[in-house]
């Protein structure tokens, strides 16, 4: 089966007079139809910019996609005329964002914001589009959808707003839903509800999901495959269980060790990763993680490792590839 | 909303009431004997006649009595009569008021069309030559006094090109004064629109709108403009007040027969009843317009609720 989305050697830089920030560097990955891929990494690791590049939503200037291809169903989105890309956006490929309050237009009723997404990609009349919008709100479990459709975003709670965002993303039954930290701004209990909702919708609609998060534990039970990003690069990618059981990049290991565990002995301390990520305006030579890495050898400071397969589905960019201690 | 409306109405009435007090005191705040000042230009008036006038105007009574009398007359719609010509002041003002409102409304249209468009494009083309050209023009616009701009426009379009009449009060005559008054305000509106739009254009909901695949024109008009206008509408109330003030100057430059021109004439003639009436009408218009714009503000931004 050909992949739904195939990103090849994507590099996105932010060019200002003062500096060039290399936000995404030579990133390649694939998403298969119906598959859920988690992208994990800390703030500034390039995970959101990677997916915004796929959507063609990187603010430009200063953002620039300097190289690479983004194939969606075999079409290179980066070569597509803007108008054709717009017909795919919000239609076959949708994106929901981190902060649902600021992501919704405060002065328009949510019904209007849903209907415009529907009508842009269908020939529905405004009455039919409204009926579809109510149906979408019901699908994301918003009570009294027929009345709530006339409300403004500020009249909703945080969780309900994110449900509205999801409904908007689903407006045209996309084949790919990109979720950019959709639960970060929400309470933990609401977080769980949103995760459950997306799992339910994914099963019903058979869409692929790319879930961006900084929380590796959130992806358990959600993702099929995980990409770990650091300093604008993919440093490890593997199926979920493989990654949890056998992390081979020191950064992935560090992330796993900094998650609290219920089965750990009491008094066990979490082990944070020492140091800070590199300044992407002044990209270091060698492996970008080397300065923080306890396994680093001489080669790490001079040569940047590329992704290397250690099994058909598991790739790591590391010269050392240490086993979990 | 209804409660807010009535609260706003009450505060408007309060403002006008304060104005009536100021207007009554005005006569006594100006140095010298008001009756002698008023009739200084009529050499033939005898001291007996002056006393008679003083009694007619009630200026021989204590101030609080004068105020009660004045209010009593105002509430009956009697604004007194002009010193010269003995015409009813209210009639004179009401005949001219539509001209002033026409001028200020036309100017407001110029301000909105030019100011909002320029500000919007400057923001959209931020940090390009379009932005710097527009904003340099805006600084010029703010700096140039309106009487000078008015005279220049008159010189170019009326005297050199002969396209438009120099002065008078007709629709063809409206163009130059409306542009004069409108452009000065457009300059500040464009700067506000620009900063407001720059803020809006980087908001997350703009990204959401684009993520839906909407056309750029829809994104800008439906999502950016309305949000950007929230601040601008808030400012338009103040702008209109300035514009009413500016109208006094511009009406005189272009001999536009509005209440501003009447006010200046009355001031030169020391015609106190007309000046008082003018101030009162002027204050009422400003209060009413800012009230209407406040209500518009609520309509544009549903997050604003007044309690």
Q: By the CB < 8 Å criterion, does A49 face chain B?
A: no
Check A105 against B227: CB less than 8 A apart: yes
Mutate which of B196, B212, B220 to disrupt the A interface (most A C-beta within 10 Å)?
B212
* Residues B258, B264: Cα–Cα separation, whole Å: 10
Q: Which of B213, B223, B302 sits opposite A90 (nearest CB)?
A: B213
The predicted-structure confidence for B233-280, as pLDDT tens digits, reads as follows 878 877 888 888 888 888 888 888 888 888 888 888 878 888 888 988
Check B209 against A105: CB less than 8 A apart: yes
Lowest mean pLDDT of A265-269, B24-28, B225-229, name the range. A265-269
Looking at residue B168, its pLDDT comes to 64
The predicted-structure confidence for B72-102, as pLDDT tens digits, reads as follows 888 888 888 887 777 888 888 888 888 888 9
The arithmetic mean of pLDDT across residues A77-106, rounded, is 89
Q: How does the average pLDDT of chain B come out, rounded? A: 84
Q: Which of B215, B226, B302 sits opposite A86 (nearest CB)?
A: B215
The arithmetic mean of pLDDT across residues B58-70, rounded, is 82
Calculate how close chain B gets to A30, using CA atoms only, in Å: 21
Nearest residue on chain B to A154, judged by CA atoms?
B303
Q: Which residues of chain B are at the A interface, by a Cβ-Cβ cutoff of 8 Å?
A: 202-205, 207-215, 218, 222-223, 226-227, 230, 300-303
Indicate whether B284 belongs to any domain.
no
The arithmetic mean of pLDDT across residues A23-38, rounded, is 90
Indicate whether B78 belongs to any domain.
no
Number of separate domains in chain B: 1
DSSP code for A89: B
- pLDDT higher at A245 or B34: A245
The predicted-structure confidence for B210-220, as pLDDT tens digits, reads as follows 999 888 888 89
β A225-230/A233-239 pair status? antiparallel
Looking at residue A301, its pLDDT comes to 85
Res. B65: pLDDT tops 90: no
* Residues B223, A107: Cα–Cα separation, whole Å: 8
* Residues B23, B21: Cα–Cα separation, whole Å: 5
Q: E strand or H helix at B65, and its extent?
A: helix B63-75
Contacts of A106 in chain B (CB under 8 A): 205, 227, 301-303
Looking at residue A236, its pLDDT comes to 92
Q: Is A68 helix (H, G, I), strand (E, B) or coil?
A: strand
- The tokens describing A27, both together, are 């990133």
- pLDDT higher at A129 or B230: A129
Q: Please give the full DSSP string across B86-127, using - where no structure is assigned.
A: --BHHHHHHHHHHHHHHHHHHHHHHIIIIIIHHHHHHHHTTT
Res. A295: pLDDT tops 60: yes
Highest mean pLDDT pick, A194-203, A279-288, B144-153: A194-203
Mutate which of B201, B205, B299 to disrupt the A interface (most A C-beta within 10 Å)?
B205
**Which sign does the torsion angle of CA B6, B8, B9, B15 carry?**
positive
Res. A61: pLDDT tops 80: no
Res. A179: pLDDT tops 60: yes
DSSP code for B43: T
Provide the CATH number for the domain around residue B182.
1.10.3720.10
| 3-state SS string for chain A | CCCCEEEEEEEEEEECCCCEEEEEEEEEEEECCCCEEEEECCCCCCHHHHHHHHHCCCCCCCEEEEEEEEEECCEEHHHCCHHHHHHHECCCEEEECCCHHHHCCCCCCHHHHHHHHHHHHCCCCHHHHHHHHHHHHHHCCCCCHHHHCCCCHHHCCHHHHHHHHHHHHCCCCCCEEEEECCCCCCCHHHHHHHHHHHHHHHHHHCCEEEEEECCHHHHCCCCCEEEEEECCEEEEEEEHHHHHHCCCCHHHHHHHHCCCCCCCCCCCCCCCCCCCCCCCCCCCCCCCCHHHCCCCCHHHHHCCCCCEEEECCEEECCCCCCCCC
The predicted-structure confidence for B146-161, as pLDDT tens digits, reads as follows 788 888 888 888 878 8
Mutate which of A82, A105, A120, A182 to disrupt the B interface (most B C-beta within 10 Å)?
A105
* Residues A61, A83: Cα–Cα separation, whole Å: 19
Contacts of A120 in chain B (CB under 8 A): 212-214
Looking at residue B43, its pLDDT comes to 66
* Residues B264, A268: Cα–Cα separation, whole Å: 86
* Residues A131, A151: Cα–Cα separation, whole Å: 16
Nearest residue on chain A to B128, judged by CA atoms?
A61
Res. B307: pLDDT tops 60: no
Q: Is B272 helix (H, G, I), strand (E, B) or coil?
A: helix
Check B213 against A102: CB less than 8 A apart: no
Q: Which of A57, A104, A107 sits opposite B301 (nearest CB)?
A: A107
Looking at residue A37, its pLDDT comes to 93
The predicted-structure confidence for B91-144, as pLDDT tens digits, reads as follows 888 888 888 889 898 998 999 999 999 999 899 888 889 888 988 888 888 888
The arithmetic mean of pLDDT across residues A107-114, rounded, is 90
Looking at residue B139, its pLDDT comes to 85
Looking at residue B169, its pLDDT comes to 63
B181, B146 Cβ separation under 8 angstroms: yes
Phi then psi dihedrals of residue A82, to 5 deg: -55, -40
Q: By the CB < 8 Å criterion, does A87 face chain B?
A: yes
Indicate whether B39 belongs to any domain.
no
Calculate how close chain B gets to A110, using CA atoms only, in Å: 12
Q: Please give the full DSSP string across A26-53, using - where no structure is assigned.
A: EEEEEE-TT-EEEEE--TTSSHHHHHHH
The arithmetic mean of pLDDT across residues A38-44, rounded, is 88
Indicate whether B176 belongs to any domain.
yes
Closest CA to A250 of A313, A300, A181, A302: A300
Indicate whether B269 belongs to any domain.
no
Q: Is B293 helix (H, G, I), strand (E, B) or coil?
A: helix
Looking at residue A297, its pLDDT comes to 84
Looking at residue B42, its pLDDT comes to 66
Looking at residue B295, its pLDDT comes to 78
Domain enclosing residue B247, as ranges:
96-257
Looking at residue A320, its pLDDT comes to 84
Check A104 against B213: CB less than 8 A apart: no
Check A106 against B222: CB less than 8 A apart: no
* Residues B21, B90: Cα–Cα separation, whole Å: 18
Contacts of A116 in chain B (CB under 8 A): 212, 214, 218, 222
Q: Is B196 helix (H, G, I), strand (E, B) or coil?
A: helix
Looking at residue A42, its pLDDT comes to 86
Check B222 against A165: CB less than 8 A apart: no
Q: By the CB < 8 Å criterion, does A89 face chain B?
A: yes
Res. B199: pLDDT tops 80: yes
Res. A127: pLDDT tops 70: yes
Cα B33 to the center of its chain, rounded Å: 32
CA angle B236, B240, B244 (to 5 degrees): 170
Q: Which of B210, B213, B300 sits opposite A121 (nearest CB)?
A: B213
Check A89 against B213: CB less than 8 A apart: yes
Q: Which of A95, A107, A154 sits opposite B211 (nearest CB)?
A: A95
Indicate whether B79 belongs to any domain.
no
- In A52-149, where do the E strands start and end? 63-72, 75-76, 93-96
Res. A211: pLDDT tops 90: yes
Looking at residue B142, its pLDDT comes to 80
Calculate how close chain A gets to B215, using CA atoms only, in Å: 7
């Amino acid at each position: 089966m050909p992949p739904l989305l195939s990103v090849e050697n994507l590099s996105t830089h932010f060019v200002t007079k003062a500096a060039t920030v290399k936000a995404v560097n030579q990133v390649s990955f694939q998403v298969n139809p119906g598959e859920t891929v988690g992208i994990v990494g800390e703030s500034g690791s390039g995970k959101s910019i990677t997916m915004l590049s796929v959507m063609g939503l990187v603010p430009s200037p200063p953002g620039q996609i300097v190289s690479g291809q983004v194939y969606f169903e075999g079409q290179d989105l980066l070569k597509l005329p803007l108008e054709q890309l717009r017909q795919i956006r919000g239609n076959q490929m949708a994106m929901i964002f981190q902060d649902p309050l600021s992501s919704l237009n405060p002065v328009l009723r949510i019904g209007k914001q849903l209907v415009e997404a529907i009508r842009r990609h269908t020939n529905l009349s405004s009455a039919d589009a409204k009926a579809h919008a109510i149906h979408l709100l019901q699908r994301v479990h918003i009570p009294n959808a027929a009345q709530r459709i006339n409300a403004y975003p500020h009249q909703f709670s945080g969780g309900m707003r994110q449900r509205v965002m999801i409904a908007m993303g689903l407006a045209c039954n996309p084949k790919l839903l990109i979720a950019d930290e959709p639960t970060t701004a929400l309470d933990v209990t609401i977080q769980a509800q949103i995760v459950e909702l997306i799992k339910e919708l994914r099963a019903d609609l058979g869409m692929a999901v790319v879930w961006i998060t900084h929380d590796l534990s959130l992806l358990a039970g959600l993702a099929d495959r995980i990409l770990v990003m650091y300093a604008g690069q993919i440093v490890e990618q593997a199926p979920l269980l493989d990654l949890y059981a056998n992390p081979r990049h020191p950064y992935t290991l560090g992330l796993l060790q900094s998650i609290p565990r219920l089965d750990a002995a009491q008094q066990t301390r979490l082990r944070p990763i020492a140091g800070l990520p590199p300044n992407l305006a002044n990209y270091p030579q060698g492996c970008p993680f080397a300065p923080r890495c306890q396994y680093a050898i001489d080669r790490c400071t001079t040569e940047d490792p590329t992704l290397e397969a250690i099994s058909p589905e598991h790739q790591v960019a590391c010269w050392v590839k240490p086993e979990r201690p | 909303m209804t409660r807010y409306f009535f609260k706003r109405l009450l505060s408007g009435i309060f403002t006008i009431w304060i104005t009536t007090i100021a207007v009554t005191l005005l006569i006594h705040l100006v140095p010298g004997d008001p009756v002698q000042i008023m009739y200084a230009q009529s050499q033939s008036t005898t001291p007996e006649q002056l006393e008679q006038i003083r009694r007619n105007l009630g200026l021989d009574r204590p101030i609080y009595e004068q105020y009660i009398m004045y209010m009593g007359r105002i509430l009956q719609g009697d604004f007194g009569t002009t010193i010269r010509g003995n015409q009813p002041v209210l009639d004179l003002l009401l005949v001219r008021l539509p001209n002033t409102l026409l001028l200020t409304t036309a100017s407001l249209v110029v301000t909105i069309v030019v100011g909002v468009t320029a500000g919007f494009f400057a923001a959209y083309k931020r940090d390009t030559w379009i932005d710097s050209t527009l904003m340099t023009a805006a600084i010029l616009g703010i700096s140039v006094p309106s009487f000078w701009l008015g005279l220049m426009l008159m010189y170019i379009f009326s005297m050199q090109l002969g396209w438009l009449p120099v002065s008078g009060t007709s629709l063809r005559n409206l163009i130059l004064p409306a542009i004069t008054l409108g452009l000065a305000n457009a300059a500040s509106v464009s700067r506000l629109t620009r900063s407001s739009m720059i803020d809006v254009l980087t908001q997350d909901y703009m990204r959401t709108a684009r993520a839906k695949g909407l056309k750029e024109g829809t994104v800008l008009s439906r999502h950016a403009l309305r949000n950007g206008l929230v601040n601008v509408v808030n400012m338009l109330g103040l702008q209109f007040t300035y514009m009413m003030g500016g109208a006094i100057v511009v009406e005189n430059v272009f001999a536009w027969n509005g209440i501003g021109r009447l006010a200046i004439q009355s001031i030169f003639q020391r015609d106190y009843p007309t000046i008082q009436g003018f101030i009162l009408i002027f204050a009422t218009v400003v209060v009413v317009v800012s009230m209407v714009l406040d209500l518009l503000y609520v309509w544009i931004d549903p997050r604003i609720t007044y309690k």
